[in-house]
Chain A
Amino acid sequence: MRLRVGARTDTGRIRPQNEDAFMSQAEQGLFVVCDGMGGAPAGEVASEMAIQAIARRLTGTDTGEDSTSPFLPHTTRLLDAVRQSNEFIYGEAQKDPRQTGMGTTVVSAWIREHIAGVAHVGDSRAYLWHNDRLEPLTRDHSLMEAHIEAGLADEGRKLPVEQQNVLLRVLGREPAVEVDVTEVPVQSGDYVLLCSDGLTRMVSEEDLAKAIQMFQEPQQICDHLIATANQNGGADNITVVVVEVTGGWWHRLINGVGSHLRRTLARDSMRVSPLNDPRPH
Protein backbone atom coordinates (compact mmCIF):
# COMPACT_ATOMS: atom_id res chain seq x y z
CA MET A 1 0.00 0.00 0.00
CA ARG A 2 1.21 3.51 -0.86
CA LEU A 3 -0.38 6.82 -0.03
CA ARG A 4 -0.35 9.88 -2.29
CA VAL A 5 -1.26 12.99 -0.39
CA GLY A 6 -2.44 16.52 -1.03
CA ALA A 7 -3.20 19.13 1.64
CA ARG A 8 -3.94 22.82 1.84
CA THR A 9 -5.45 25.37 4.16
CA ASP A 10 -6.80 28.79 3.26
CA THR A 11 -8.12 31.71 5.30
CA GLY A 12 -11.08 32.17 2.96
CA ARG A 13 -12.47 35.55 1.96
CA ILE A 14 -14.20 36.79 5.11
CA ARG A 15 -12.26 35.80 8.22
CA PRO A 16 -9.29 37.91 9.27
CA GLN A 17 -7.15 34.95 10.31
CA ASN A 18 -6.89 31.21 9.78
CA GLU A 19 -7.82 29.21 12.87
CA ASP A 20 -7.67 25.88 11.04
CA ALA A 21 -4.63 23.65 11.35
CA PHE A 22 -3.68 20.36 9.78
CA MET A 23 -1.07 17.62 9.83
CA SER A 24 -0.32 15.35 6.90
CA GLN A 25 2.29 12.64 7.43
CA ALA A 26 2.16 10.28 4.48
CA GLU A 27 4.99 8.10 5.83
CA GLN A 28 3.08 7.30 9.00
CA GLY A 29 -0.31 7.40 7.29
CA LEU A 30 -1.43 9.97 9.84
CA PHE A 31 -3.72 12.87 8.92
CA VAL A 32 -5.46 15.44 11.13
CA VAL A 33 -7.60 18.53 10.49
CA CYS A 34 -8.63 20.89 13.30
CA ASP A 35 -10.89 23.94 13.20
CA GLY A 36 -10.26 26.23 16.15
CA MET A 37 -12.78 28.48 17.81
CA GLY A 38 -12.83 31.16 20.47
CA GLY A 39 -11.40 34.05 18.46
CA ALA A 40 -7.79 35.11 17.99
CA PRO A 41 -5.47 34.11 19.37
CA ALA A 42 -7.28 31.35 21.25
CA GLY A 43 -8.80 29.55 18.25
CA GLU A 44 -5.50 29.39 16.43
CA VAL A 45 -3.82 28.22 19.58
CA ALA A 46 -6.37 25.47 20.26
CA SER A 47 -6.25 23.91 16.79
CA GLU A 48 -2.45 24.00 16.72
CA MET A 49 -2.30 22.56 20.25
CA ALA A 50 -4.57 19.68 19.30
CA ILE A 51 -2.37 18.78 16.33
CA GLN A 52 0.81 18.92 18.42
CA ALA A 53 -0.70 16.91 21.26
CA ILE A 54 -1.96 14.18 18.94
CA ALA A 55 1.36 13.99 17.09
CA ARG A 56 3.32 13.80 20.36
CA ARG A 57 1.15 11.03 21.69
CA LEU A 58 1.33 8.96 18.51
CA THR A 59 4.98 9.39 17.69
CA GLY A 60 5.93 8.60 21.27
CA THR A 61 6.25 5.03 22.46
CA ASP A 62 3.12 2.93 22.64
CA THR A 63 1.71 3.21 26.13
CA GLY A 64 0.34 -0.30 26.05
CA GLU A 65 -2.70 -1.69 24.37
CA ASP A 66 -6.21 -1.43 25.63
CA SER A 67 -7.20 -5.05 25.09
CA THR A 68 -10.87 -4.30 25.70
CA SER A 69 -11.07 -1.98 22.68
CA PRO A 70 -13.15 -3.33 19.81
CA PHE A 71 -10.82 -1.52 17.40
CA LEU A 72 -7.44 -2.38 15.94
CA PRO A 73 -4.42 -1.20 17.95
CA HIS A 74 -3.67 1.84 15.76
CA THR A 75 -7.27 3.05 15.90
CA THR A 76 -7.30 2.61 19.66
CA ARG A 77 -4.11 4.65 19.94
CA LEU A 78 -5.58 7.39 17.79
CA LEU A 79 -8.68 7.51 20.01
CA ASP A 80 -6.46 7.72 23.07
CA ALA A 81 -4.42 10.54 21.50
CA VAL A 82 -7.53 12.58 20.70
CA ARG A 83 -8.82 12.14 24.26
CA GLN A 84 -5.44 13.18 25.62
CA SER A 85 -5.35 16.26 23.42
CA ASN A 86 -8.70 17.30 24.91
CA GLU A 87 -7.33 17.05 28.44
CA PHE A 88 -4.25 18.97 27.41
CA ILE A 89 -6.11 21.88 25.79
CA TYR A 90 -8.59 22.04 28.65
CA GLY A 91 -5.72 22.16 31.14
CA GLU A 92 -3.93 24.93 29.21
CA ALA A 93 -7.15 26.95 28.94
CA GLN A 94 -7.56 26.87 32.71
CA LYS A 95 -4.05 28.23 33.20
CA ASP A 96 -4.28 31.26 30.94
CA PRO A 97 -7.29 33.61 31.15
CA ARG A 98 -6.66 34.86 27.59
CA GLN A 99 -7.31 31.34 26.39
CA THR A 100 -10.42 30.54 28.41
CA GLY A 101 -13.14 29.30 26.16
CA MET A 102 -10.83 28.14 23.42
CA GLY A 103 -11.80 24.95 21.68
CA THR A 104 -11.30 23.09 18.44
CA THR A 105 -12.86 20.42 16.31
CA VAL A 106 -10.76 17.48 15.20
CA VAL A 107 -11.02 14.90 12.48
CA SER A 108 -8.18 12.42 12.24
CA ALA A 109 -7.35 9.36 10.20
CA TRP A 110 -4.58 6.85 10.75
CA ILE A 111 -4.20 4.49 7.82
CA ARG A 112 -2.20 1.33 8.44
CA GLU A 113 -2.28 -1.95 6.57
CA HIS A 114 -5.28 -0.90 4.50
CA ILE A 115 -7.40 0.00 7.52
CA ALA A 116 -8.26 3.63 8.17
CA GLY A 117 -9.03 4.36 11.81
CA VAL A 118 -11.02 7.59 12.03
CA ALA A 119 -11.66 9.63 15.18
CA HIS A 120 -13.53 12.92 15.32
CA VAL A 121 -15.14 15.53 17.52
CA GLY A 122 -17.17 18.46 16.14
CA ASP A 123 -18.12 19.27 12.57
CA SER A 124 -14.92 18.65 10.66
CA ARG A 125 -15.57 15.69 8.43
CA ALA A 126 -14.05 12.60 6.86
CA TYR A 127 -15.25 11.03 3.63
CA LEU A 128 -14.30 7.87 1.80
CA TRP A 129 -14.32 7.81 -1.99
CA HIS A 130 -14.91 4.18 -2.88
CA ASN A 131 -16.21 2.67 -6.09
CA ASP A 132 -16.87 6.10 -7.66
CA ARG A 133 -18.93 7.19 -4.68
CA LEU A 134 -18.55 9.46 -1.70
CA GLU A 135 -19.38 7.91 1.68
CA PRO A 136 -19.44 10.01 4.84
CA LEU A 137 -17.32 8.48 7.62
CA THR A 138 -18.31 11.00 10.29
CA ARG A 139 -21.43 12.62 11.62
CA ASP A 140 -21.23 16.22 12.79
CA HIS A 141 -21.66 16.86 16.49
CA SER A 142 -23.84 19.85 15.72
CA LEU A 143 -27.28 21.09 16.60
CA MET A 144 -28.29 20.69 12.99
CA GLU A 145 -27.22 17.05 12.84
CA ALA A 146 -28.92 16.36 16.19
CA HIS A 147 -32.20 17.55 14.69
CA ILE A 148 -31.69 15.35 11.66
CA GLU A 149 -30.92 12.32 13.84
CA ALA A 150 -34.03 13.00 15.90
CA GLY A 151 -36.07 12.72 12.71
CA LEU A 152 -36.63 16.48 12.61
CA ALA A 153 -34.53 17.22 9.55
CA ASP A 154 -36.77 19.99 8.29
CA GLU A 155 -36.68 21.79 11.59
CA GLY A 156 -32.90 21.42 11.59
CA ARG A 157 -32.69 23.10 8.21
CA LYS A 158 -35.00 25.86 9.35
CA LEU A 159 -32.84 26.76 12.35
CA PRO A 160 -31.98 30.44 12.57
CA VAL A 161 -28.56 31.20 11.14
CA GLU A 162 -26.98 31.78 14.53
CA GLN A 163 -28.01 28.29 15.66
CA GLN A 164 -26.62 26.62 12.55
CA ASN A 165 -23.13 26.95 13.92
CA VAL A 166 -23.83 25.37 17.28
CA LEU A 167 -21.56 22.47 18.10
CA LEU A 168 -22.43 19.90 20.71
CA ARG A 169 -18.91 18.58 21.21
CA VAL A 170 -15.48 20.17 20.80
CA LEU A 171 -12.00 19.56 22.16
CA GLY A 172 -10.84 21.67 25.08
CA ARG A 173 -14.07 22.88 26.62
CA GLU A 174 -14.76 20.09 29.10
CA PRO A 175 -12.40 17.96 31.20
CA ALA A 176 -13.46 14.88 29.18
CA VAL A 177 -15.02 14.51 25.76
CA GLU A 178 -16.75 11.72 23.93
CA VAL A 179 -14.86 10.88 20.73
CA ASP A 180 -16.52 9.11 17.80
CA VAL A 181 -14.41 6.39 16.25
CA THR A 182 -14.80 4.20 13.23
CA GLU A 183 -12.71 1.91 11.09
CA VAL A 184 -12.95 1.29 7.38
CA PRO A 185 -10.92 -0.89 5.01
CA VAL A 186 -9.38 1.07 2.15
CA GLN A 187 -8.54 -0.49 -1.21
CA SER A 188 -6.29 0.74 -3.98
CA GLY A 189 -8.15 3.48 -5.82
CA ASP A 190 -9.94 4.71 -2.71
CA TYR A 191 -9.49 8.25 -1.40
CA VAL A 192 -9.88 9.53 2.14
CA LEU A 193 -10.79 13.21 2.41
CA LEU A 194 -10.61 15.21 5.64
CA CYS A 195 -11.90 18.78 5.78
CA SER A 196 -13.11 21.61 7.95
CA ASP A 197 -16.66 22.96 7.65
CA GLY A 198 -15.33 25.89 5.63
CA LEU A 199 -15.28 23.43 2.75
CA THR A 200 -18.50 21.50 3.32
CA ARG A 201 -20.59 24.62 3.84
CA MET A 202 -19.40 26.14 0.60
CA VAL A 203 -19.09 23.10 -1.67
CA SER A 204 -21.76 20.43 -2.06
CA GLU A 205 -20.93 16.77 -1.62
CA GLU A 206 -21.78 16.32 -5.27
CA ASP A 207 -19.01 18.75 -6.18
CA LEU A 208 -16.56 17.06 -3.79
CA ALA A 209 -17.23 13.83 -5.63
CA LYS A 210 -16.81 15.49 -9.01
CA ALA A 211 -13.49 17.03 -8.02
CA ILE A 212 -12.05 13.65 -7.01
CA GLN A 213 -13.32 12.04 -10.18
CA MET A 214 -12.07 14.82 -12.40
CA PHE A 215 -8.61 15.55 -10.97
CA GLN A 216 -7.57 12.27 -9.34
CA GLU A 217 -4.26 13.79 -8.23
CA PRO A 218 -4.61 14.61 -4.49
CA GLN A 219 -3.00 18.07 -4.49
CA GLN A 220 -4.97 19.14 -7.54
CA ILE A 221 -8.17 18.01 -5.84
CA CYS A 222 -7.32 20.12 -2.77
CA ASP A 223 -6.42 23.19 -4.83
CA HIS A 224 -9.57 22.92 -6.89
CA LEU A 225 -11.82 22.46 -3.85
CA ILE A 226 -10.34 25.44 -2.05
CA ALA A 227 -10.75 27.58 -5.16
CA THR A 228 -14.37 26.46 -5.46
CA ALA A 229 -15.08 27.21 -1.78
CA ASN A 230 -13.69 30.70 -2.24
CA GLN A 231 -15.67 31.23 -5.42
CA ASN A 232 -18.81 30.27 -3.50
CA GLY A 233 -18.13 32.85 -0.81
CA GLY A 234 -15.22 31.55 1.28
CA ALA A 235 -17.14 32.45 4.45
CA ASP A 236 -14.85 30.48 6.76
CA ASN A 237 -11.35 29.06 6.88
CA ILE A 238 -11.01 26.12 4.50
CA THR A 239 -8.81 23.08 5.02
CA VAL A 240 -8.67 19.96 2.88
CA VAL A 241 -6.48 16.87 3.14
CA VAL A 242 -6.84 14.26 0.38
CA VAL A 243 -5.20 10.84 0.63
CA GLU A 244 -5.16 8.47 -2.32
CA VAL A 245 -4.59 4.80 -1.60
CA THR A 246 -2.53 3.09 -4.28
CA GLY A 247 -0.69 -0.20 -4.51
CA GLY A 248 3.09 -0.43 -4.94
CA TRP A 249 4.37 0.11 -8.50
CA TRP A 250 4.40 -3.63 -9.20
CA HIS A 251 0.90 -3.93 -7.79
CA ARG A 252 -0.32 -1.11 -10.01
CA LEU A 253 1.37 -2.71 -13.01
CA ILE A 254 -0.20 -6.12 -12.35
CA ASN A 255 -3.56 -4.54 -11.61
CA GLY A 256 -3.37 -2.43 -14.73
CA VAL A 257 -2.69 -5.48 -16.90
CA GLY A 258 -5.26 -7.50 -14.96
CA SER A 259 -8.02 -4.96 -15.26
CA HIS A 260 -7.27 -4.50 -18.95
CA LEU A 261 -7.58 -8.25 -19.44
CA ARG A 262 -10.74 -8.38 -17.35
CA ARG A 263 -12.25 -5.57 -19.39
CA THR A 264 -11.38 -7.33 -22.62
CA LEU A 265 -12.75 -10.64 -21.37
CA ALA A 266 -15.89 -8.97 -20.06
CA ARG A 267 -16.47 -7.35 -23.44
CA ASP A 268 -16.10 -10.67 -25.20
CA SER A 269 -18.38 -12.57 -22.89
CA MET A 270 -20.97 -9.86 -22.53
CA ARG A 271 -24.41 -10.84 -23.59
CA VAL A 272 -27.80 -9.33 -23.01
CA SER A 273 -29.91 -11.44 -20.70
CA PRO A 274 -33.64 -11.38 -21.44
CA LEU A 275 -35.99 -9.94 -18.86
CA ASN A 276 -36.87 -12.64 -16.40
CA ASP A 277 -40.36 -13.99 -16.32
CA PRO A 278 -41.90 -11.75 -13.67
CA ARG A 279 -44.24 -14.20 -12.03
CA PRO A 280 -44.89 -13.93 -8.32
CA HIS A 281 -43.51 -16.75 -6.25
Chain B
Amino acid sequence: MSKLTLQYEGIVLKDHAVGSGLTIGRLPDNAMIIDNPAVSGHHARVFLEGHQVILEDLRSTNGTFVNGRPITRHVLQHGDEVLVGKHSIVFDQNAVEPQPVSGPPLESLGDTVYLDTKQHRALRATLESARADAAKSINARPATPVTTAPPRVGILRVVAGRSEQDQYDLGAHTSLIGRSDTALVRLRGWFKPSVAVAIARSGNGYVATPLGGKTLVNDERLEGRRILQDGDMLNVSGLILQFGWKDGVPAESAA
Protein backbone atom coordinates (compact mmCIF):
# COMPACT_ATOMS: atom_id res chain seq x y z
CA MET B 1 0.00 0.00 0.00
CA SER B 2 1.41 3.38 -0.92
CA LYS B 3 0.90 6.52 1.10
CA LEU B 4 1.55 10.23 1.10
CA THR B 5 2.86 11.94 4.21
CA LEU B 6 2.12 15.61 4.66
CA GLN B 7 4.87 17.54 6.40
CA TYR B 8 5.51 21.15 7.31
CA GLU B 9 8.96 22.40 8.24
CA GLY B 10 10.06 18.84 8.85
CA ILE B 11 7.13 18.04 11.12
CA VAL B 12 4.87 15.20 10.09
CA LEU B 13 1.26 16.30 10.01
CA LYS B 14 -0.68 13.42 8.52
CA ASP B 15 -0.46 10.22 6.51
CA HIS B 16 -2.85 9.67 3.62
CA ALA B 17 -3.30 6.32 1.94
CA VAL B 18 -3.16 6.79 -1.81
CA GLY B 19 -5.93 4.22 -2.31
CA SER B 20 -7.54 4.83 -5.69
CA GLY B 21 -6.36 8.43 -5.67
CA LEU B 22 -6.94 11.73 -3.91
CA THR B 23 -7.01 15.47 -4.42
CA ILE B 24 -4.83 18.00 -2.67
CA GLY B 25 -5.92 21.56 -2.01
CA ARG B 26 -7.05 24.29 0.35
CA LEU B 27 -10.80 23.70 0.12
CA PRO B 28 -12.55 21.24 2.44
CA ASP B 29 -13.74 18.99 -0.39
CA ASN B 30 -10.18 17.72 -0.95
CA ALA B 31 -9.04 14.43 0.55
CA MET B 32 -5.77 16.07 1.60
CA ILE B 33 -6.61 19.54 2.88
CA ILE B 34 -3.77 22.03 3.27
CA ASP B 35 -5.25 25.10 4.85
CA ASN B 36 -2.70 27.64 3.69
CA PRO B 37 -3.06 30.67 1.39
CA ALA B 38 -0.11 29.49 -0.73
CA VAL B 39 -2.15 26.45 -1.75
CA SER B 40 -4.83 26.64 -4.44
CA GLY B 41 -8.40 25.51 -3.79
CA HIS B 42 -7.83 22.40 -5.89
CA HIS B 43 -4.07 22.30 -6.23
CA ALA B 44 -3.12 18.85 -7.44
CA ARG B 45 -4.38 15.31 -7.69
CA VAL B 46 -2.91 11.87 -7.35
CA PHE B 47 -4.38 8.92 -9.22
CA LEU B 48 -3.53 5.43 -10.40
CA GLU B 49 -2.74 4.50 -13.96
CA GLY B 50 -2.05 0.79 -14.18
CA HIS B 51 0.59 0.18 -11.54
CA GLN B 52 1.81 3.77 -11.64
CA VAL B 53 0.86 6.52 -9.23
CA ILE B 54 0.52 9.79 -11.12
CA LEU B 55 0.72 13.27 -9.64
CA GLU B 56 -0.89 16.03 -11.67
CA ASP B 57 -0.88 19.76 -11.01
CA LEU B 58 -4.37 21.24 -11.43
CA ARG B 59 -3.11 24.52 -12.89
CA SER B 60 -2.45 25.80 -9.40
CA THR B 61 -1.36 29.39 -8.82
CA ASN B 62 1.95 28.58 -7.17
CA GLY B 63 2.72 25.31 -8.90
CA THR B 64 3.60 21.80 -7.75
CA PHE B 65 7.21 20.70 -7.39
CA VAL B 66 8.79 17.27 -7.18
CA ASN B 67 12.29 17.11 -5.71
CA GLY B 68 12.69 20.81 -6.47
CA ARG B 69 11.47 20.75 -10.08
CA PRO B 70 8.13 22.16 -11.26
CA ILE B 71 5.85 19.52 -12.77
CA THR B 72 2.50 19.37 -14.48
CA ARG B 73 2.36 15.58 -14.53
CA HIS B 74 4.76 13.19 -12.85
CA VAL B 75 4.99 9.47 -12.19
CA LEU B 76 5.67 9.26 -8.44
CA GLN B 77 8.70 7.25 -7.35
CA HIS B 78 9.34 5.94 -3.88
CA GLY B 79 10.83 8.73 -1.77
CA ASP B 80 9.73 11.60 -4.03
CA GLU B 81 9.20 14.85 -2.16
CA VAL B 82 6.31 16.89 -3.49
CA LEU B 83 6.20 20.57 -2.59
CA VAL B 84 2.85 22.36 -2.44
CA GLY B 85 3.19 25.89 -1.11
CA LYS B 86 5.41 25.45 1.93
CA HIS B 87 4.15 21.97 2.71
CA SER B 88 5.98 18.92 1.54
CA ILE B 89 4.40 15.57 0.78
CA VAL B 90 6.57 12.48 0.77
CA PHE B 91 5.56 9.52 -1.36
CA ASP B 92 6.07 6.11 0.20
CA GLN B 93 5.55 3.23 -2.20
CA ASN B 94 5.32 0.47 0.37
CA ALA B 95 4.04 2.00 3.55
CA VAL B 96 4.56 -0.85 5.95
CA GLU B 97 7.83 0.07 7.55
CA PRO B 98 8.72 3.37 9.13
CA GLN B 99 10.60 5.82 6.97
CA PRO B 100 14.31 6.22 7.55
CA VAL B 101 15.49 9.79 7.85
CA SER B 102 18.71 8.90 6.07
CA GLY B 103 21.17 6.07 5.92
CA PRO B 104 24.44 6.38 7.81
CA PRO B 105 27.71 5.56 6.15
CA LEU B 106 29.25 2.28 7.24
CA GLU B 107 32.95 2.93 6.72
CA SER B 108 35.50 1.94 9.29
CA LEU B 109 36.35 4.61 11.78
CA GLY B 110 39.51 6.29 12.86
CA ASP B 111 39.82 8.31 16.00
CA THR B 112 37.52 11.25 16.37
CA VAL B 113 39.29 14.52 15.69
CA TYR B 114 38.42 17.99 16.82
CA LEU B 115 39.08 21.15 14.82
CA ASP B 116 40.19 24.07 16.97
CA THR B 117 38.63 27.48 16.61
CA LYS B 118 41.09 28.80 14.05
CA GLN B 119 40.78 25.78 11.74
CA HIS B 120 37.07 25.88 12.26
CA ARG B 121 36.76 29.51 11.18
CA ALA B 122 38.72 28.89 8.02
CA LEU B 123 36.56 25.89 7.22
CA ARG B 124 33.38 27.78 7.89
CA ALA B 125 34.44 30.55 5.51
CA THR B 126 35.06 27.97 2.78
CA LEU B 127 31.69 26.36 3.35
CA GLU B 128 29.86 29.69 3.45
CA SER B 129 31.20 30.67 0.04
CA ALA B 130 30.42 27.22 -1.32
CA ARG B 131 26.89 27.56 -0.02
CA ALA B 132 26.52 30.96 -1.70
CA ASP B 133 27.79 29.54 -5.00
CA ALA B 134 25.46 26.59 -4.75
CA ALA B 135 22.50 28.89 -4.14
CA LYS B 136 23.43 31.04 -7.16
CA SER B 137 23.96 28.23 -9.61
CA ILE B 138 21.30 25.73 -8.73
CA ASN B 139 18.41 27.87 -7.54
CA ALA B 140 16.98 24.52 -6.64
CA ARG B 141 14.25 24.82 -4.08
CA PRO B 142 11.78 27.58 -4.78
CA ALA B 143 9.85 27.30 -1.54
CA THR B 144 12.70 27.58 0.94
CA PRO B 145 13.51 31.28 0.91
CA VAL B 146 16.68 32.28 2.71
CA THR B 147 15.26 35.14 4.71
CA THR B 148 16.75 36.46 7.88
CA ALA B 149 13.67 38.38 9.01
CA PRO B 150 12.95 37.86 12.70
CA PRO B 151 10.26 35.23 13.22
CA ARG B 152 6.75 36.51 13.73
CA VAL B 153 5.41 36.40 17.25
CA GLY B 154 2.08 34.77 17.88
CA ILE B 155 -0.36 35.76 20.60
CA LEU B 156 -3.23 34.19 22.47
CA ARG B 157 -6.18 36.46 23.20
CA VAL B 158 -8.46 35.41 26.02
CA VAL B 159 -12.00 35.27 24.69
CA ALA B 160 -13.77 33.69 27.67
CA GLY B 161 -12.85 32.15 31.00
CA ARG B 162 -10.68 33.04 33.99
CA SER B 163 -7.10 34.11 33.34
CA GLU B 164 -4.45 36.45 34.70
CA GLN B 165 -4.03 38.45 31.49
CA ASP B 166 -6.18 39.39 28.51
CA GLN B 167 -3.47 38.47 26.06
CA TYR B 168 -0.32 36.33 26.08
CA ASP B 169 2.71 36.72 23.81
CA LEU B 170 4.11 33.42 22.53
CA GLY B 171 7.69 34.70 22.56
CA ALA B 172 9.25 31.61 24.12
CA HIS B 173 10.29 28.48 22.28
CA THR B 174 7.65 26.51 24.14
CA SER B 175 4.64 28.09 25.86
CA LEU B 176 2.54 25.96 28.18
CA ILE B 177 -1.10 26.18 29.16
CA GLY B 178 -1.96 24.43 32.40
CA ARG B 179 -1.95 24.46 36.18
CA SER B 180 1.86 24.22 36.37
CA ASP B 181 4.04 27.04 37.76
CA THR B 182 5.94 27.08 34.50
CA ALA B 183 2.81 27.61 32.39
CA LEU B 184 2.49 30.89 30.50
CA VAL B 185 -1.29 30.67 30.65
CA ARG B 186 -2.25 29.42 34.12
CA LEU B 187 -5.36 27.32 34.50
CA ARG B 188 -6.99 27.49 37.90
CA GLY B 189 -8.82 24.68 39.65
CA TRP B 190 -8.03 21.34 41.17
CA PHE B 191 -9.09 19.21 38.30
CA LYS B 192 -7.33 21.16 35.58
CA PRO B 193 -4.36 19.38 34.01
CA SER B 194 -0.88 20.36 35.12
CA VAL B 195 0.07 20.85 31.49
CA ALA B 196 -2.83 20.83 29.03
CA VAL B 197 -1.21 22.05 25.83
CA ALA B 198 2.27 22.97 24.65
CA ILE B 199 2.56 25.57 21.92
CA ALA B 200 5.99 25.37 20.34
CA ARG B 201 7.63 27.54 17.72
CA SER B 202 8.38 25.68 14.54
CA GLY B 203 10.02 27.56 11.73
CA ASN B 204 7.89 30.62 11.23
CA GLY B 205 4.81 29.15 12.86
CA TYR B 206 3.46 27.47 15.97
CA VAL B 207 2.53 23.87 16.63
CA ALA B 208 0.07 22.91 19.38
CA THR B 209 0.45 19.51 21.10
CA PRO B 210 -2.15 18.23 23.57
CA LEU B 211 -0.60 16.87 26.79
CA GLY B 212 -3.46 16.57 29.26
CA GLY B 213 -7.17 17.23 29.77
CA LYS B 214 -9.39 18.12 26.86
CA THR B 215 -8.52 20.70 24.24
CA LEU B 216 -10.56 21.71 21.22
CA VAL B 217 -9.35 23.73 18.25
CA ASN B 218 -12.24 25.25 16.31
CA ASP B 219 -14.55 22.79 18.10
CA GLU B 220 -12.45 19.81 16.96
CA ARG B 221 -10.74 17.63 19.55
CA LEU B 222 -6.98 18.22 19.46
CA GLU B 223 -5.44 14.73 19.30
CA GLY B 224 -2.02 15.19 17.76
CA ARG B 225 0.23 18.02 16.69
CA ARG B 226 -1.45 20.82 14.81
CA ILE B 227 -0.12 23.97 13.17
CA LEU B 228 -2.02 26.98 14.47
CA GLN B 229 -3.60 29.31 11.93
CA ASP B 230 -4.51 32.96 12.41
CA GLY B 231 -7.91 33.12 14.10
CA ASP B 232 -7.93 29.53 15.45
CA MET B 233 -10.11 29.19 18.55
CA LEU B 234 -8.69 27.06 21.35
CA ASN B 235 -10.82 25.68 24.13
CA VAL B 236 -8.39 24.45 26.78
CA SER B 237 -10.32 22.78 29.59
CA GLY B 238 -12.91 25.55 29.41
CA LEU B 239 -10.64 28.55 28.81
CA ILE B 240 -11.29 30.00 25.35
CA LEU B 241 -8.31 31.54 23.57
CA GLN B 242 -7.84 32.87 20.07
CA PHE B 243 -4.53 32.49 18.27
CA GLY B 244 -3.28 35.38 16.13
CA TRP B 245 -0.21 37.34 15.19
CA LYS B 246 1.23 40.16 17.23
CA ASP B 247 0.83 43.64 15.69
CA GLY B 248 -1.56 42.18 13.13
CA VAL B 249 1.16 40.82 10.86
CA PRO B 250 -0.57 39.24 7.84
CA ALA B 251 -0.68 35.47 7.95
CA GLU B 252 1.13 34.68 4.71
CA SER B 253 2.43 36.70 1.83
CA ALA B 254 1.87 34.06 -0.83
CA ALA B 255 -1.13 33.45 -3.13
Contact = CB atoms under 8 A, between A and B. Distances in A.
Interface of A: 14, 35, 37, 39, 70-75, 103, 113-115, 123, 130-136, 143, 146-147, 149-152, 157, 161-162, 164-168, 170, 173-174, 182-185, 187, 197, 200-206, 209-210, 213, 232-233, 235-236, 272-273, 275-276, 278-281
A278 B43 CA distance: 9
B182 A70 contact: no
Interface string B25-57: 101011100000000111001010000000010
B25, B56, B131, B174 — most chain A CB neighbours (10 Å) = B174
Nearest to B99: A133
Given A71-B174, A113-B211, A182-B173, 18 more contacts: A39-B111, A70-B173, A115-B174, A115-B176, A133-B98, A151-B131, A152-B130, A167-B112, A168-B120, A184-B200, A206-B98, A206-B100, A209-B97, A272-B19, A278-B47, A280-B40, A280-B59, A280-B60
Contact of B110 (A131, A162, A232): A162
B98 A134 contact: yes
Contact of B224 (A131, A184, A202, A203): A131
Interface string B92-129: 00000111111111111111111111001001100110
A119 B34 CA distance: 33
Interface string B178-209: 10101000000000001100101000000001
A236 B112 CA distance: 10
B interface residue count range (under 10 / 10 to 19 / 20 to 34 / 35 or more): 35 or more
Given A113-B194, A168-B115, A278-B23, A185 B200 contact: yes
A70 B123 CA distance: 30
Contacts of B127: 146-147, 149-150, 152
A281 B57 CA distance: 11
20 contacts: A71-B172, A123-B112, A131-B12, A143-B123, A152-B130, A168-B114, A168-B120, A182-B173, A201-B104, A202-B104, A205-B101, A235-B109, A272-B19, A275-B22, A275-B23, A276-B22, A276-B42, A278-B23, A278-B42, A278-B47
A39 B182 CA distance: 43
B49 to A, nearest CB: 13
A11 to B, nearest CB: 14
A113 B104 contact: no
Contacts of B10: 135
B212 A114 contact: yes
Contacts of A235: 108-109
B98 A210 contact: yes
B105 A164 contact: yes
Most buried by B among A135, A209, A280: A280
